[in-house]
Amino acid sequence: MADRSFDIARLPGFATIAVTIFVLLYLPIAMLVIFSFNAGDNVAIWEGFSLRWYPEAWANEAVKQATWRSLQIATCAAIIATTVATMAALGTTRRRQTRGQSFVYLMINQPLMVPEIVTAVALLIFFSSIKVATGYQGLGYLILAHAAFCIPFAYLPIRARLEGMDLSLETASADLYATRWQTFRHVTLPLVMPGAIAGLMLAFVTSLDDVVITLFVKSAGQDTLPTYMLAQIRRSVSAEVNAISTLLLLLTVVLLTAFFLLTRKRT
Amino acid sequence: MSADPQVTAAARRGWWLSAPALVLLAVGATGPLLIMLVYSFLEPGQYGNVEWALSFKAWFNVVMQRDIFDGTLTFADAHLSIFWRSAKLALLTTLFAFLTGFPTAWFIATRSPGLRTALLFLITIPFWTNLLIRTFAINQIIRNEGFLNTFLLWTGIIDTPIVMLYTDFAVFIGMTYVYLPLMVLPLFAAIDRFDMRLLQAGYDLYASRWQLLRHVIVPVVKPGIISGSILVFIPALGAYVTPRILGGGRNMMIGNFIELQFGQGRNWPLGAALSVVLLVVVSLALIVYTRFATGSEGKSHG
């Protein structure tokens, strides 16, 4: 009794469940990564360490094109979404609440509330008639669709940053006869920047990971990395998919770590 | 209304700044939903797309069907069984995610600050990791020649592989796996605000741990429970990727059934009507959630 104090917050069995959940959460991902280094083409029997699947995936022209396409779309969509989200955040925070604001919030958060399959189908219907009418089949549709659903992800960290910002700095700048533009350029923008970069990264990751909307919006031959992988998974499973997954996981973890470091509260 | 010119100017500037985002969302998200609603009232085209003629057939076909031979009306059993499976799997996923997510969130919230940050980061990584990759990882574990069966065969516990892939069970396990972080994060936020002195008070009054959990903890963190449940239920109900990879062609959920109407089914109006149904169900869930959340908040202030 003496060596262990009574912990009021301890609930029997909870720690066991929690640890099990953490293990189960990471075990499948760990197996996926481990078997991307398997010498044989088997996802369950280890046949020795090998890096063969990485060059093999990269030698595949379809993988190369899908990767390039994914990066193009994610970069364009993230930049567009972050730009408009920054503007919207500047327009909706740090001012007295107006009736219009709840409408703006609702619109911005709409992609988070509507099931992805519903948006995907709606975009398929909308874009298919535009494709027929204009004859344009390019990546523009995918970039537009991705930019739209990335807006809430870019908006949230920017808004959080703006709400934590000291208004007196801008007032001080105005008191020193700075024009509105000068204040924005030299005071507001540098302060918003960490939020905007965090938003950009979340938007980039969100776009890069999208499957459902891409699947319905893309024209023939416009596979992105996730839609290419989906098609591969349905056929025979090759460790090539493990290798691609591992690289995508690595990219996500790197971006997320950077995001955490950027948004961490300074002590 | 008071017409303070400064406030009006600020509001106008707010609108102009928000305009590009609103236009982009109107074109790339909200507007097409309205077009979809229109399409649900049209005739299907022979090779997909639609004929521009008003028709209520798609809506009728959501739940009813007319026999092609004798013209009798019956319920569309195939459709109803897909709705039932979707609702059942989404509810089971939500329930199981809660049962496992609550202890996990509690465990995280009761650690030291440093460990807590690390554990939260560990929960957040899967949340941002590609859903397709995580579903694929589950697929590799439970397939017949997958890791789990190979291991069980090797140990001699079983002598023929257990068929798990392409069953409802696989979809349920897969969805619980991919949506669990959505349950843990809001639960953690609620438990983090929980005043542990309430437990002290409970113990002083001779409450058992179970009574505390039942009568003190759960009622106080209820908003977090509701948030987590809604956040899991909504994507689970409209899931597409997970049932496609783990459920195969037969164990369709409503998301896959909608896709079918735009592919082989060539019935765009039915697909549009089904999407509207899904959207309405999700909106109702969100409305109930908003009412509930604000209601309980008002009570706690009173």
Look at residue A1 and tell me if it is in a domain: no
Cα B125 → chain centroid: 19
Q: What is the largest CA-CA distance in chain B?
A: 81
Residue A66: give its domain's CATH number.
1.10.3720.10
- Give chain B's end-to-end CA distance (angstroms, integer): 31
Examine the domain organization and report whether B40 and B144 are in the same domain: no
Examine the domain organization and report whether B84 and B58 are in the same domain: no
Residue B29, min C-alpha distance to chain A (Å): 6
Question: What is the domain extent for residue B61?
Answer: 5-66
Measured between beta carbons, which residues in chain B are less than 8 angstroms from residue A212? 240-241
pLDDT of B300 > 60? The answer is no
B265-292 pLDDT per residue, tens: 889 999 999 999 999 999 998 888 777 7
Examine the domain organization and report whether B10 and B92 are in the same domain: no
8 Å CB contact between A53 and A32: no
Question: What is the domain extent for residue A197?
Answer: 61-263
Residue B69, min C-alpha distance to chain A (Å): 32
User: What does the angle CA B279 – CA B281 – CA B282 come to, to the nearest 5 degrees?
Assistant: 65
pLDDT of B179 > 70? The answer is yes
Look at residue B53 and tell me if it is in a domain: yes
Computed over every residue of chain B, the mean pLDDT equals 87
8 Å CB contact between A124 and A212: no
pLDDT of B293 > 70? The answer is no
pLDDT reported for residue A91: 86
Look at residue B22 and tell me if it is in a domain: yes
Q: Which amino acid is at B37?
A: L
User: What does the angle CA B264 – CA B269 – CA B270 come to, to the nearest 5 degrees?
Assistant: 65
Reported as a pLDDT band with limits 50, 70 and 90, residue B66 is: confident
Look at residue A172 and tell me if it is in a domain: yes
8 Å CB contact between A227 and A214: yes
Measured between beta carbons, which residues in chain B are less than 8 angstroms from residue A149? 28-29
Residues 209-248 of B with CB under 8 A from A: 209, 213, 234-235, 237-238, 240-241, 244-245
pLDDT reported for residue A82: 96
pLDDT reported for residue A96: 64
Closest chain A CA to residue B34:
A122
pLDDT reported for residue B297: 44
Determine the average pLDDT of the residues in B65-92: 84
Domain count, chain A: 1
CB-CB under 8 Å, B49 with A128 = yes
Residues 137-176 of B with CB under 8 A from A: 137-141, 143, 145-147, 149-150
Examine the domain organization and report whether B248 and B196 are in the same domain: yes
Q: Which of B16, B37, B66 is the last residue of a domain?
A: B66
Look at residue A53 and tell me if it is in a domain: no
Q: What is the pTM of this model?
A: 0.88
Residue B89: give its domain's CATH number.
1.10.3720.10
8 Å CB contact between A200 and A78: yes
Other Cβ atoms within 10 Å of B26 Cβ, number: 15
CB-CB under 8 Å, B7 with A115 = no
pLDDT of B302 > 50? The answer is no
Determine the average pLDDT of the residues in B212-239: 90
CB-CB under 8 Å, A119 with B255 = no
Task: Pick the more confident residue, A239 or B296.
Answer: A239
pLDDT reported for residue A102: 82
Cα A263 → chain centroid: 16
Residue A37, min C-alpha distance to chain B (Å): 15
Examine the domain organization and report whether B62 and B80 are in the same domain: no
User: Whose CA is closest to A162, among A188, A183, A184, A181?
Assistant: A188
CB-CB under 8 Å, B110 with A25 = no
ipTM: 0.87
Helices (H), chain B: 5-25, 31-39, 57-63, 77-109, 113-128, 131-142, 147-155, 168-192, 197-204, 209-212, 218-220, 222-237, 241-246, 254-262, 268-301
pLDDT reported for residue A3: 42
Rounded to whole angstroms, how far apart are CA atoms A207 and B193? 33
A251 at interface of B, judged by CB pairs closer than 8 A: no
A46 at interface of B, judged by CB pairs closer than 8 A: no
Reported as a pLDDT band with limits 50, 70 and 90, residue B2 is: low
pLDDT reported for residue B294: 55
Examine the domain organization and report whether B175 and B237 are in the same domain: yes
Domain count, chain B: 2
pLDDT reported for residue A236: 66
Look at residue B71 and tell me if it is in a domain: no
User: Whose CA is closest to B137, among B194, B178, B176?
Assistant: B178
Examine the domain organization and report whether B156 and B11 are in the same domain: no
CB-CB under 8 Å, A43 with B213 = no
Q: Which of B13, B35, B66 is the last residue of a domain?
A: B66
Examine the domain organization and report whether B296 and B179 are in the same domain: yes
Residues 123-182 of A with CB under 8 A from B: 123-126, 128, 144-145, 147-149, 151, 155
Look at residue B230 and tell me if it is in a domain: yes
Examine the domain organization and report whether B82 and B227 are in the same domain: yes
Q: Which of B66, B90, B106 is the last residue of a domain?
A: B66
What letters, b where the CB count within 10 A reaches 16 and e where it falls short, cover B206-233? ebebeebbeebbeebbebbbbbbbbbbb
Q: Could you read off the pLDDT tens digit of each residue along chain A, which spans 267 residues?
A: 444 456 777 787 889 999 999 999 999 999 999 989 988 877 677 888 888 889 988 888 999 999 999 999 999 999 999 999 999 998 887 666 667 778 888 899 899 889 999 999 999 999 998 998 998 988 999 999 999 999 999 998 898 888 877 778 888 888 888 888 888 888 888 888 988 998 999 999 999 999 999 999 999 889 999 999 998 887 766 788 899 999 999 998 898 888 888 777 554
Examine the domain organization and report whether B162 and B56 are in the same domain: no
Examine the domain organization and report whether B90 and B228 are in the same domain: yes
Rounded to whole angstroms, how far apart are CA atoms B262 and B269? 9
pLDDT reported for residue B11: 76
**A108 conformational bin, left if phi > 0, alpha if psi -120 to 50, beta if neither:** alpha
Q: Residue A121: exposed, middle, or buried by beta-carbon count in 10 A (0-12, 13-18, 19+)?
A: buried
Examine the domain organization and report whether B124 and B256 are in the same domain: yes
Look at residue A83 and tell me if it is in a domain: yes
Look at residue A173 and tell me if it is in a domain: yes
